[in-house]
Amino acid sequence: MLAQTPAIACTTLMTRDASGGVYHGRTLELASWLPYNVVYVPAGTWLKSSTPTDADKALQGSSRYRVLAITVPVDAAGSNKVVEGVNEEGLSFSALMYAGAVGPQVRIEQSQKALAAADLGAWGLSQFKNVAEVKAAMANQPVWLAGLAVLGGLKTPLHYIFYDRAGNSIVIEFADGKQSVNDNPIGVMTNGPELSWHLTNLNNYSFLTNVDKSTGSFNGVNVAQPDSGIATAGLPASNTSVGRFVRAAYYSTYVEKAKDPDTAIVTLAHVMNNFDRPRDITIDQSGAVANEGVATTGKAAFSSEYTTWTALTDLNRGLLFVRTYMDVNYAKFDLAAFKDVKEIKAIPLAGVAGSSIDATQQLLAGKSVPNAE
């Protein structure tokens, strides 16, 4: 039994290298650990969505592309849903908490085939090679929001973001009873409100720049900042969805464009460190409306969201790097290594440890240095 009704309070963003290569970073914050899996799904796998009543109305079909993903079971039957992933064509995906999600009433009996919103990740990554194809398919695809046991029965309180190798991005949202697919020119998403609100809010930060202004004058008195970094003084400091969106937009805009892919991944890791949240930095009292508008429940007097894991994706090379809360370093998964694998593979994310090097013995065996005295 979970200590509270969890929320997926996340930050996702896109960066580029000097050659235009695209990289996707994402954190996932919860107040408890869920049984995540890292899963490989080969092309040709038969996939089936869910419907509230008639199984014959469920969207189903054979996957077209190989997929590497992080999944989580959402019900008692252990049905796994993709919350993060990338396919062989460089299309990547993230699901993020959006407690205000209210979709249209899909009449299953009149639709050709229905797609559960929780299956958007598996569907998009398995069937399409870029953002344009996903967007075109969504124009005619009925989607319904089902209650998810893992989220306290809430009706799929999520919104969804796709990226591709060309740097295109879209956000799929369900609000006010409508389904929308919007271009995401900033390449950033957090949680509520909807994308359009976040983009409008950026108008309040037109003064931001990465150039330090370290000197000034007040009534003839000259002042000087003795350190670097004053340019970030106007960034929101809070871990709210609104604050994180602005910080993510800033970092993804101004971070160095690395000269090679390996350095670009390291650079992205440094960016995502700015969204890494330790336990108890903020706590929510039991019964309070928090976690993106979801009331906390359970016996615990307080709960604390923390960064359960962080993912880095290289869309050009099909590399997925994952670091859990208990790790310092990232574990690496290479989609290309599964090229000839024809069966589904899965391992628990909890069992994946980033490689940590104990250099004690190297130092013990190192060159002796005489005392300087």
String of DSSP letters for 76-89: TT--EEEEEEEETT
Contact 236, 248 (CB under 8 A): no
Distance, in Å, from the CA atom of 85 to the CA atom of 343, rounded to the nearest integer, reads: 17
Report helix, strand or coil for 335.
helix
Which stretches within 227-355 are classed as H helix? 241-254, 261-272
Domains in the chain, CATH or no CATH each: 9-364 (3.60.60.10)
Cα dihedral 77, 144, 137, 94, rounded to 10, equals -60
- In the prediction, which pLDDT does 3 show? 34
Q: Which residue is associated with the tokens 């993912």?
A: 311
CB atoms within 10 A of CB 15: 25
Give pTM, 2 decimals. 0.90
DSSP state of 287: T
- In the prediction, which pLDDT does 153 show? 57
- In the prediction, which pLDDT does 158 show? 85
How does 58-74 read in b/e, with b if 16+ C-beta sit within 10 Å?
bbeeebbbbbbbbbbbb
pLDDT tens digits in sequence order for the chain, 373 residues long? 233 344 557 999 999 999 999 999 999 999 889 999 999 999 999 998 876 555 566 788 999 999 999 999 876 666 789 999 999 999 999 999 887 655 555 554 455 678 888 899 999 999 999 999 999 999 988 888 776 665 565 566 788 999 999 999 999 998 877 889 999 999 999 998 999 999 999 999 999 999 999 999 999 999 999 999 999 999 999 999 999 999 999 999 999 999 999 999 999 999 999 999 999 998 887 655 555 444 444 556 668 899 999 999 999 999 999 999 999 999 999 999 999 999 999 999 998 888 777 775 776 687 777 765 5
